[in-house]
């Protein structure tokens, strides 16, 4: 299979991540491609428990968010020709908190309260302990997610990011096929990839319908007459449950990426691939060139790191 790589589209560029390297390639307004790379080590490798299935998913998700914010900051400074401020840890933490707060508000809190209102004033009455509540809640989450993707895709700058997203997938396909990393080879591949983060989010939302419907039947409610407190209590539990859901979704994505040729599994991952039609666009050759540069850099640094580690082990053993 080779080195495991993944990526993310940024402003006028692509970030590629290998097990021990982050590489970002961004095209400047003058046409020059700027490449930045740094070695890194996942927390998964530092703590044994986070190497286990279902434990590693949430950690990798948080690392991906942090790396993504760093890459976006760098790409913005290069693409807009602004001074790179090398954002501090506090800036990244605040940006991460703000992003998570918005996601929780629009994809957890709002669907929950709308489901509560529908259960109270709709023709069919239901409450938080009803499976119907979580079915409605889940479909509202998916609806909001789709609307969000449709709305942001109307912006020209976002459409360009989606083109780079497609370039990222084509580049990874080329590497996984064992072909030379050239624009000509990458051009023929699909912009849809089973290990995409878009598919991951859809799996999390779908899983939440089944898990919440089964779990909340047994959740004891707090003894209070306050509707607000009851809903805040249940929303808090939902937020906590999204941690194991992320772990399960990651394992599904990981498994599907390794067995994408399986016919039955191919049908199962189709919704995630269809959803990527909203988040990817066909890239041009210049965008493919940028994605391939990022991937080449990540692989080169990864190989040199592996070679250095091998030499150190040989010297130690000798």
- The reported pLDDT for the residue numbered 314 is 39
Q: Are 139 and 263 in contact (CB under 8 A)?
A: no
Structure tokens at 39: 């070695």
* All residues at 6 or more sequence positions from 257 whose CB lies less than 8 Å from its CB, including other chains: 194, 195
The 10s digit of each residue's pLDDT in 135-144 is 999 999 999 9
Report whether pLDDT(218) > 80. yes
> Would you list the domain boundaries of the chain?
6-302
Q: Are 288 and 186 in contact (CB under 8 A)?
A: yes
Report whether pLDDT(172) > 90. yes
Rounded to the nearest 5°, which phi and psi values hold at 153? -70, -10
- Tell me the three state secondary structure of residue 2: coil
Report whether pLDDT(315) > 70. no
Sort 315 into a burial class: Cβ within 10 Å, 0-12 / 13-18 / 19+: exposed
- The reported pLDDT for the residue numbered 318 is 46
Helical (H) or strand (E) element with 193: none
Of the pLDDT bands very low, low, confident and very high (cuts 50, 70, 90), residue 51 is confident
Chain centroid, CA 317 distance in Å: 40
Q: pTM value? A: 0.85
Dihedral, 190, 196, 197, 201 alpha carbons, nearest 10: 100
């Amino acid at each position: 299979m080779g080195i495991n790589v993944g990526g993310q589209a940024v402003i006028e560029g692509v970030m590629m991540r290998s097990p021990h390297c982050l590489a970002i390639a961004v095209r400047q307004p003058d046409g020059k491609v700027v490449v930045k790379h740094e070695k890194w080590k996942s927390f998964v490798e530092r703590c044994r428990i986070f190497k286990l299935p279902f434990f590693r998913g949430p950690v990798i998700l948080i690392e991906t968010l942090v790396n993504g914010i760093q890459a976006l900051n760098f790409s913005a400074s290069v693409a807009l020709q602004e001074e790179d401020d090398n954002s501090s840890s506090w800036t990244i933490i605040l940006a991460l908190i703000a992003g998570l707060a918005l996601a929780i508000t629009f994809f957890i809190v709002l669907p929950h309260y709308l489901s509560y209102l529908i259960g109270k004033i709709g023709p069919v009455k239901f409450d938080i302990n009803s499976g119907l509540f979580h079915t409605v809640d889940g479909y509202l989450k998916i609806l909001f997610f789709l609307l969000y993707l449709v709305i942001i895709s109307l912006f020209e700058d976002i459409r360009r990011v989606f083109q780079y997203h497609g370039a990222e997938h084509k580049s990874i396909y080329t590497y996984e096929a064992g072909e030379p990393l050239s624009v000509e080879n990458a051009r023929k591949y699909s912009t849809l990839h089973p290990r995409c983060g878009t598919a991951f989010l859809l799996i999390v939302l779908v899983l939440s319908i089944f898990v919440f419907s089964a779990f909340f039947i047994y959740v004891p409610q707090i003894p209070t007459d306050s509707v607000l407190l009851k809903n805040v209590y249940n929303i808090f539990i939902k937020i906590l449950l999204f941690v194991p859901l992320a772990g399960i979704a990651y394992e599904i994505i990981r498994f599907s990426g390794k067995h994408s040729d399986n016919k039955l599994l191919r049908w199962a991952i189709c919704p995630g691939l269809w959803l990527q039609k909203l988040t990817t666009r066909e890239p041009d050759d210049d965008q493919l060139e940028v994605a391939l540069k990022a991937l080449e850099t990540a692989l080169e640094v990864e190989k040199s790191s592996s070679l250095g580690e091998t030499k150190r082990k040989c010297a130690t053993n000798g």
